[in-house]
Structure 1
């Protein structure tokens, strides 16, 4: 199985830090020019789901202490150290300028490959939709 990157993340963070700190900052998603038309009307959305690759992650443990020290399984955590190295974060879309998307809430470092973008849809993404 392989994935193709559709763009890259520009961030002030060169290496991973506390995700809560990263989410407070703005960053930019730059979509490759060949996928530019796929951004048509993306600015109609307030929030996006960003799928990306944890490209700096090189190992994982199935069970280990996580962010706040509790032992959890990798699939019961948001750890970047995962078998598939895929991350997902919901971000606020602040502005679109061509193929550059200024966002807030992204917990990925500078140079992170973007795998996909999807609009956040409360009717599908909110577990309390009943």
Structure 2
């Protein structure tokens, strides 16, 4: 709200992505566009937090898109100049004031605090901020 101070807080990386994608330009726009599998390499001190992860689990991986431009407010979706300029809050552009990435993946292997996942469009070295289970809707 105007006139109200911005809240500040600390966000820390829990680990990073190990992927064959080496730079942002290598990454597909969405996971279903050919993203490779990858490893989430988490801090060894998080072993208890990983204890119940299992192959087949669906997770939302929250990443910090550390190379994104945080000053961008309007983009051409998918970097396509034929598309009209659109406010970033209506897009999945990595360029945004707080560049959090959300990636839905399936767990393939859990090896301690290393989690092998399918189709992750984040590139090598991207910080991992959190993991959350995908919840199925109640009926």
TM-score for both structures, normalised by structure 2: 0.80
Who is 1:13 aligned against? Answer: 21
1 CA distance for matches of 2:15 and 2:71? 25
For 1:51-62, list aligned pairs within 5 A.
51-62=62-73
Q: Does 1:39 align with 2:50?
A: yes
Larger radius of gyration: 2
Who is 1:106 aligned against? Answer: 120
2 CA distance for matches of 1:72 and 1:48? 29
Q: Please report how far the alpha carbon of residue 109 of structure 1 lies from its aligned counterpart in structure 2 after TM superposition.
A: 0.7
Equivalent of residue 12 in structure 2, options 4, 7, 10: 4
Q: Please report how far the alpha carbon of residue 23 of structure 1 lies from its aligned counterpart in structure 2 after TM superposition.
A: 4.9
Instruction: Extract unaligned runs of 5+ from structure 2.
Output: 1-8
- Partner-residue secondary structure (3-state), 2:61: strand
More strand by share: 1
Instruction: Extract unaligned runs of 5+ from structure 1.
Output: 124-128
Who is 1:63 aligned against? Answer: 74
Who is 1:121 aligned against? Answer: 135
Q: Please report how far the alpha carbon of residue 33 of structure 1 lies from its aligned counterpart in structure 2 after TM superposition.
A: 0.5
RMSD value over aligned CA atoms? 1.9
- How many residues end up aligned between the 2 structures? 125
Q: Deviations over 1:67-102 (max 9, x none)?
A: 043421100000000101111111111111111111
